[in-house]
A = this chain, B = another copy of it.
Amino acid sequence: MTAQTARIMDGTVSARRVRSEVATAVATMTQDGHPAPGLATVLIGDDPASEVYVRNKRRACSAAGMRDLHRHLPGDIGQDEVAAVLDELAANPDVSGILLQLPVPAHLDAEALLARIPAAKDVDGLTPASAGALAQGRPGLRPCTPAGVIRLLQDHQVALAGTEVTVVGRSVLVGRPMVQLLTEQDATVTLCHSRTRDLDQVCRRAEVLVVAAGVPGLIGPDAVRPGATVVDVGIHRTEHGLRGDVDYDRVAGVAGRITPVPGGVGPMTIAMLLANTLRAARIQAGLLP
């Protein structure tokens, strides 16, 4: 284990800051006579991991002064019944944002369900319409995890304009929207994946390296340019505890800045969900264009 040279980018600190900004803005909205933003989390069935995720989102929502409009649906519910619930939430003016917790039970068509959430209430930023808006550079709600990475980098004054950034992993949830958000920030972005020929070499030219490959410990010190900023989106339960896609102990001796796992990108995801819900509510209230 080399000596740690990298400064830690603590996501819990940044996330706390975002949540506090949201809480302040919610308080201002309600003082001005607007209803508090409402987040409708939709959980189908009893998957324990999903229950934990949804509970954390609901708590964060309430803590920020928003209305928790949770809906728990039975695991054997039919496609049409879920669709009807989503349509009702879409039409309900109390609901600022709708989050359909994934995965849904296998007998349901998640894609068709997501497509029913109107872009204006898509606080997860994952519907086809939101993806289209991002791809075409139009305004819209952005996916929470990549938006959280941008915010974390901004909070640490990491320059992105003109910067060489490499993103590892081309998932629809993280890697692909990450490329688009970084390009919007004027970075020069390279997207790597499992078919990339010399991954270490492509990563080593990056001043900022964002890893969302879903492979524990994939990125070692040979893939990191000395002084680079390394953001680890991966999270894996291993026999040594929670680990990311980056070999933290060794990379921390090469990088200039690094996110820990846990406590890096993870907390930013829920914080950006709250920021999206606030944004949706403000647009719906006519407070934002």
Residues of A within 8 A of B (CB): 111, 127-138, 161-164, 170, 172, 176-177, 179-180, 183, 186, 188-193, 195-197, 202
Q: Apart from A128-B129, A188-B195, what are 9 other A-B pairs with CB-CB below 8 Å?
A: A111-B138, A128-B132, A128-B133, A135-B177, A135-B180, A164-B197, A188-B192, A188-B197, A190-B191
Least distance between A248 CB and chain B CB atoms (Å): 25
* Given A129-B129, A133-B128, A136-B172, residue A190 in contact with residue B188 (CB < 8 A): yes
Number of chain copies forming the complex: 2
- Give chain B residues whose Cβ lies under 8 Å from the Cβ of A197: 162-164, 188
Q: DSSP class of A's interface residues: helix, strand, loop or mixed? A: mixed
Least distance between A220 CB and chain B CB atoms (Å): 19
Contact A183 B188 (CB under 8 A): no
- Give chain B residues whose Cβ lies under 8 Å from the Cβ of A133: 128, 132
Identify A183's interface contact among B131, B136, B193, B202, CB under 8 A.
B193
- Complex: how many Å from CA A276 to CA B172? 24
- Give chain B residues whose Cβ lies under 8 Å from the Cβ of A136: 128, 131, 172, 176
Least distance between A150 CB and chain B CB atoms (Å): 16
- Looking at A136, A164, A172, A197, which has the most chain B CB atoms within 10 Å of its CB? A136
